[in-house]
Amino acid sequence: MPKLKRISESTISRLSRYYRALVQLDKDNYETVSSKDLANLEHLTPAQVRKDLSFFGSFGTRGLGYPVRELKDKIARILGVDQEWNVALVGIGNIGSALVSYKEFARQGFKIKLLFDNDQRKIGSNHKGIVIRDVANLTRELKDNHIEIVVIAVPPQQAQAVCDDIVKADVKAILNFAPINLKVPKGVSLRNENMAMELEHLSFCLVNDHYCEQG
Amino acid sequence: MPKLKRISESTISRLSRYYRALVQLDKDNYETVSSKDLANLEHLTPAQVRKDLSFFGSFGTRGLGYPVRELKDKIARILGVDQEWNVALVGIGNIGSALVSYKEFARQGFKIKLLFDNDQRKIGSNHKGIVIRDVANLTRELKDNHIEIVVIAVPPQQAQAVCDDIVKADVKAILNFAPINLKVPKGVSLRNENMAMELEHLSFCLVNDHYCEQG
DNA sequence: ATTTTGTTGTGAAAGCTTTCACAACATCAT
DNA sequence: ATGATGTTGTGAAAGCTTTCACAACAAAAT
Ligand SMILES: NC(=O)c1ccc[n+]([C@@H]2O[C@H](COP(=O)([O-])OP(=O)(O)OC[C@H]3O[C@@H](n4cnc5c(N)ncnc54)[C@H](O)[C@@H]3O)[C@@H](O)[C@H]2O)c1
Ligand SMILES: NC(=O)c1ccc[n+]([C@@H]2O[C@H](COP(=O)([O-])OP(=O)(O)OC[C@H]3O[C@@H](n4cnc5c(N)ncnc54)[C@H](O)[C@@H]3O)[C@@H](O)[C@H]2O)c1
């Protein structure tokens, strides 16, 4: 019985982790799994697992645990990975190319449909079977092709302008690799993949081991 | 007067953001900045900024704000980005290659010194001026070259074995791109860059807009 | 001098997340 | 049937993070 409460970022991230674990358990032909087992697999606490799941309903049986396949499917539904998503990629440089080559995303339902760049030498060329389009037509082409998720992999100076064009196309989900704080209107989901920040987190831990979680 | 309290992950991430903002403000020749200004730049609250900084000391002047260059340098010190770090990269495939090409990391003090792979065709070849070494010698070479941070960019099946070799070399900081939960002993800092998880977060928001922050 | 305006640093309050603890079941052995 | 064992779902407690609110200053104006 899902109440209309905000779900925390950490709960959503953990759902992804449960999902990955359940896919593996299902492959390994496990029928059921307890919150304790699932917690151990992901280095979490059983109470955390049960509380996270309880936000979305009661999926388990007391005394037995959770049915693996069923729970996997339920979480897939919740995460929206039971369906296909049309993804576009803007900026086909180092990172952009790596993402296009990565077949795992497609297998998970994230289908890279369109590629964009502003480099005349790249526009029109075929990249892993997908033609690179001119970013000048970004808004229109995103609309025409019903793109639902856009990945930004352009230099930081260009990122906000690209982002604005994406928002104009009514796209509601953006994954950004540029190390910059993009401004998006309410109703648009933005996730940042900031590697510099992760490296700085690590150097912080190296310098301040006493302050840091891992002690 | 730094008390010996754990610093939260979110505070550390925000320090990275303040730092980036301060670098820009310094370039733009600003002398001072208030918690209000800094908060506006990063879409945070002034109280948050002041509280975060207060964990590490008092850097501002009442009535005036913070001296930009001084605060920048203080945060650089706290984050450990006032020094150089020796970085090694394991797995020179799509993602690994993209990281080697990225000059920004070196500029920030993260110097990629060694590359490793297990593919005989790649081992010994020169990649952007760095020779690719055999991962068989990983532990010894990490030690010999005083590597402090290692980036894992191998397929998920190989990641834990690679990780174990890294830990054996007494490396205390690991950045992992493989979509898998690595097990590391206490005292080793591990950060994960999991793009699939970010995409799933976005699809969750698309499916459950009412549950999601951006509502 | 005194007032006004501006801003920090921080204890306390509010809000949010995780953990605890236990009733409510389910299964199995006897 | 009954008891023993195992596990969920959840309200309450504990713990953590963010926001509030204000004293303590600093500078400038009067
Ligand atoms: N490569 C990495 O390892 C790495 C690591 C961390 C962050 N990043 C960030 O990811 C982003 C991409 O990095 P990269 O190394 O792939 O850069 P890159 O220079 O290799 O690629 C950028 C691509 O974007 C294109 N581009 C530029 N402006 C554009 C615009 N307005 N519209 C469309 N395309 C445009 C360029 O032509 C180029 O193909 C950057 O913001 C970078 O800071 C990269
Ligand atoms: N490419 C992407 O866009 C992307 C996106 C998300 C996650 N990832 C993850 O990042 C990792 C790397 O992805 P990729 O696309 O670069 O893969 P890739 O196959 O292009 O590269 C992997 C490299 O690792 C090497 N390797 C394999 N086993 C090794 C070992 N034991 N020791 C040393 N090297 C070894 C391979 O020879 C290869 O060069 C994977 O875990 C992948 O799931 C990649």
In a domain, A114, yes or no: yes
The residue assigned the tokens 């310094």 is: B26
Q: What are the pLDDT digits (tens) for A52-91? A: 999 999 999 999 999 999 999 999 999 999 999 999 999 9
Q: How far apart are CA B149 and CA A204, in angstroms?
A: 12
How many domains are contained in chain B? 2
First-residue to last-residue Cα distance in chain B: 40
Q: For the whole model, what pTM was predicted?
A: 0.96
Q: What is the pLDDT, as a whole number, of residue B212?
A: 84
Q: What are the pLDDT digits (tens) for A31-55? A: 999 999 999 999 999 999 999 999 9
HSE at residue A171, side-chain half, CA atoms within 13 A, is 34
The CATH number of residue B68's host domain is: 1.10.10.10
For strand D, give the nucleotides within 7 A of a protein CB: 5-11, 16-21, 24-27
Instruction: Check whether residue A34 has its CB closer than 7 Å to nucleic acid strand C.
Output: no
Q: What is the pLDDT, as a whole number, of residue B3?
A: 43
**Stretch A138-148: mean pLDDT, rounded?**
98
Strands (E), chain A: 32-33, 66-67, 85-90, 110-117, 126-127, 130-134, 149-152, 173-176, 189-192
Q: How far apart are CA B95 and CA B152, in angstroms?
A: 10
CA distances from B7 to A32, A196, B12, B48 (A): 38, 19, 7, 14
Q: Within this chain, do residues A89 and A69 fall inside the same structural domain, yes or no? A: no
Q: What is the pLDDT, as a whole number, of residue B96?
A: 98
A148: pLDDT strictly greater than 80: yes
Q: How far apart are CA B202 and CA A144, in angstroms?
A: 21
For strand C, give the nucleotides within 7 A of a protein CB: 5-11, 16-21, 23-27
**Stretch B35-58: mean pLDDT, rounded?**
97
pLDDT band at A20 (very low <50, low <70, confident <90, very high): very high
Q: How far is the CA of B99 from the centre of ligand 1 (A)?
A: 12
Give yes or no for residue A165 CB within 6 A of ligand 1.
Answer: no
Q: How far is the CA of B158 from the centre of ligand 2 (A)?
A: 9
B150: pLDDT strictly greater than 60: yes
Query: Which residues on B lie below 8 Å from A97 (Cβ)?
Result: 94, 98
Q: Within this chain, do residues B33 and B62 fall inside the same structural domain, yes or no? A: yes
Q: What is the pLDDT, as a whole number, of residue B32?
A: 97
Q: What is the CA radius of gyration of chain B?
A: 20
Q: What are the pLDDT digits (tens) for B49-59? A: 999 999 999 99
Give yes or no for residue B150 CB within 6 A of ligand 2.
Answer: no
Q: Within this chain, do residues A103 and A148 fall inside the same structural domain, yes or no? A: yes
In a domain, B57, yes or no: yes
Widest distance between CA atoms in chain A: 63
In a domain, A214, yes or no: no
Give yes or no for residue A91 CB within 6 A of ligand 1.
Answer: yes
Cβ atoms of residues A172 and A155 within 8 Å: no
Q: Within this chain, do residues A132 and A185 fall inside the same structural domain, yes or no? A: yes
Instruction: Check whether residue B50 has its CB closer than 7 Å to nucleic acid strand D.
Output: yes
Q: Is B128 exposed, middle or buried (0-12, 13-18, 19+ CB in 10 A)?
A: exposed
Q: Within this chain, do residues A25 and A91 fall inside the same structural domain, yes or no? A: no
A157 touches chain B (CB under 8 A): no
First-residue to last-residue Cα distance in chain A: 40
Q: Within this chain, do residues A125 and A174 fall inside the same structural domain, yes or no? A: yes
Using C1' positions and the CA of B60, the closest nucleotide is: C8
Q: How far apart are CA A116 and CA A121, in angstroms?
A: 12
Looking at every residue in chain B, the average pLDDT score rounds to 95
CA nearest to nucleotide D23 C1': residue: B62
Q: What are the pLDDT digits (tens) for A166-176? A: 999 999 999 99
In a domain, B207, yes or no: no
Instruction: Check whether residue A44 has its CB closer than 7 Å to nucleic acid strand C.
Output: yes
Q: Within this chain, do residues A133 and A100 fall inside the same structural domain, yes or no? A: yes
CA distances from B125 to B96, B98, B119, B138, B141 (A): 15, 16, 11, 17, 17
**Stretch B62-86: mean pLDDT, rounded?**
98
Widest distance between CA atoms in chain B: 63
Q: What is the pLDDT, as a whole number, of residue B215?
A: 55
For A175, the domain range is 85-197
Count of other CB atoms within 10 angstroms of residue A64 = 11
In a domain, A203, yes or no: no
Looking at every residue in chain A, the average pLDDT score rounds to 95
Q: What is the pLDDT, as a whole number, of residue B2?
A: 37
Q: What is the pLDDT, as a whole number, of residue A159?
A: 98
Q: What is the pLDDT, as a whole number, of residue A4?
A: 60
Q: What are the pLDDT digits (tens) for B92-101? A: 999 999 999 9
Strands (E), chain B: 32-33, 66-67, 85-90, 110-117, 126-127, 130-134, 149-152, 173-176, 189-192
B1: pLDDT strictly greater than 50: no
The CATH number of residue A116's host domain is: 3.40.50.720
B4: pLDDT strictly greater than 70: no
- Report the residue count for chain B: 215
Q: Within this chain, do residues B177 and B128 fall inside the same structural domain, yes or no? A: yes
Nearest partner of B188 among B205, B204, B209, B173, judged by Cα:
B173
A112: pLDDT strictly greater than 60: yes
Q: How far apart are CA A204 and CA B59, in angstroms?
A: 19
Q: What is the pLDDT, as a whole number, of residue B210?
A: 87
Q: Which residue has the higher pLDDT, A167 or A128?
A: A167
Cross-chain CB nearest to A16 (options B7, B174, B200): B200
Cross-chain CB nearest to B199 (options A94, A149, A186): A149
Q: What is the pLDDT, as a whole number, of residue A153?
A: 98
Q: What are the pLDDT digits (tens) for A92-110? A: 999 999 999 999 999 999 9
**Stretch A181-196: mean pLDDT, rounded?**
96
Q: Within this chain, do residues B140 and B193 fall inside the same structural domain, yes or no? A: yes
